[in-house]
Structure 1
Amino acid sequence: MSVESEVSLDGKKLTIAVKGRFDFGSHQLFREAYERFYQAPDTYVVDLKEATYLDSSALGMLLLLRDYAGGDAADIRVINCSADVRKILAISNFDKLFDIP
């Protein structure tokens, strides 16, 4: 399990890539991925392309990111979801809180 973050050259977009299990064990790494930047980006992208598992604590971490990024005004995209992950997000109504293309 790993969490990697990359900020765009202009500093306006932060991409957080989760690899492996997205569960409570990745809580600290996930928080550090977005809290360690001095200037908050305009857009956050959570890339789940290599995430193999997602549980309720991962959903909670996404909500914490949303609060940190400004709540309803936050621009957060959850991309590259597998069919199973997309289903979990839809059942949890996260498709109403996040942009999930």
Structure 2
Amino acid sequence: MFLLSKPAILSCLAMIPLSMAFSVQAQTYASGFTDAKWSAQSGAFACSLTHEIPAFGTAYFGQNAGSAGFFEFRGAKKAFPAGSVKLEAVPPLWRSDLAPRV
């Protein structure tokens, strides 16, 4: 049988929230200005714009004939859990007069 002293148990319990805080960090995915490559596809019934995001997947704008356009992320990894996403449009450095849009 292995017994821990009360201070040892308390120090182990104190580490649990700390370890949980490090495992729930936000990830940032971005592509630089020089890496931006948009691909356009169009047809009689649909059109789309796609952009590869390094280490994430693809940003996809699309519209089918007769319906509203849509935007979605298509992650390359299947391990992304359900949750919220923050999309931020950041202006280039030479446009310091503009603020980022969320």
TM-score by length of 2: 0.29
Structure ID, larger Rg: 2
Choose between structure 1 and 2: higher strand proportion. 1
Higher RCO (Cα < 8 Å, 6 or more apart): 1
Query: TM-score normalised to the size of structure 1?
Result: 0.29
